[in-house]
Amino acid sequence: MRHVGFSTGALAKGDFRRGIDLQRSHCDALELSALREGELDALIEALPKLDLAGFAYVSFHAPSRLEKLSERELVERLQRLGEPVSAIIVHPDVIHDFSLWRPLGRRLVLENMDQRKPIARTARELRPYFDALPEARFCFDIGHARQVDPTLGAALVMLRAFGDRLAEIHISEVNAASSHVAISRTTSQSYRRLASLLPDSVPAIIESVIAPAAIADELTIARASLGDLPTEAVLRPQLLRNP
């Protein structure tokens, strides 16, 4: 069974403790989000004391934009991350000096981007990053991939190219404004096209920004989208949870 959980940022923005508590009874995977630079130090400092015992998989999302910190200062902080963080998710557009990032080795996980920035959106655009960082693994954001190409043809090429590096899946629906929203039925059905390329040994992190009351339904539709549950789960998720 695939480990699935939410990004703390999707459930509670910068309040990571609440983001953890909200999903504790539902999930066995978790991504600690420091997507905004200002959230980074507090999260790193709190990490050793957080109760993460129920989560079999924990990843950490690095800031997506640097305003005060230098690239070197960011990497130094990320290197301090210890157990249980097994993957550090990084947007390739914060990487300029590859030599700074190489010491992170396999813990460095690069994510494909949405349509807004002309880098790292397709296999061709990601290739230079993996060539320069040969140990880095791949976080496949299926929402970004579908925004870039709704047929998921480009996603297939990406998974063929970097599937052996696949460490984490990000799942949500990404709308025209590039916001992560709840997964619709239409989108879920299209995601299933890729199910055979997304082994259940790879954990999935849900990035849909939803209300706490919608956690169970979003978990169900995310699992169905990845082929972990039958299609009926997308059409009637409540029936599946309460047969």
Q: Which residues bind other proteins (CB under 8 A)?
A: 115-116, 118, 121-122, 148-154, 156-157, 176, 193-194, 196-197
Instruction: Name the packing angle between helices 123-132 and 153-162 (round to 10°).
Output: 20
Cβ 35 to other proteins shortest distance, Å: 20
Q: Are 91 and 64 in contact (CB under 8 A)?
A: yes
Cβ 196 to other proteins shortest distance, Å: 4
Sequence-distant (≥ 6) Cβ neighbours of residue 238 within 8 angstroms: 217
The DSSP H or E segment spanning 168 is strand 166-171
Give the residue with the Cβ less far from other proteins, 121 or 137: 121
Give the residue with the Cβ less far from other proteins, 148 or 202: 148
Question: Cα–Cα distance between 30 and 18 in angstroms, integer?
Answer: 12
Give the residue with the Cβ less far from other proteins, 79 or 115: 115
Cβ 154 to other proteins shortest distance, Å: 8
Cβ 193 to other proteins shortest distance, Å: 6
Question: Cα–Cα distance between 40 and 60 in angstroms, integer?
Answer: 10
Give the residue with the Cβ less far from other proteins, 13 or 193: 193
Sequence-distant (≥ 6) Cβ neighbours of residue 96 within 8 angstroms: 71
Give the residue with the Cβ less far from other proteins, 17 or 124: 124
Give the total residue count for the chain.
243
Cβ 60 to other proteins shortest distance, Å: 28
Cβ 174 to other proteins shortest distance, Å: 12
Reading the block at residue 88, the tokens are 């550090």
Cβ-based burial of 49 (10 A; exposed 0-12, middle 13-18, buried ≥19): exposed
Give the residue with the Cβ less far from other proteins, 96 or 117: 117
Question: Cα–Cα distance between 92 and 219 in angstroms, integer?
Answer: 27
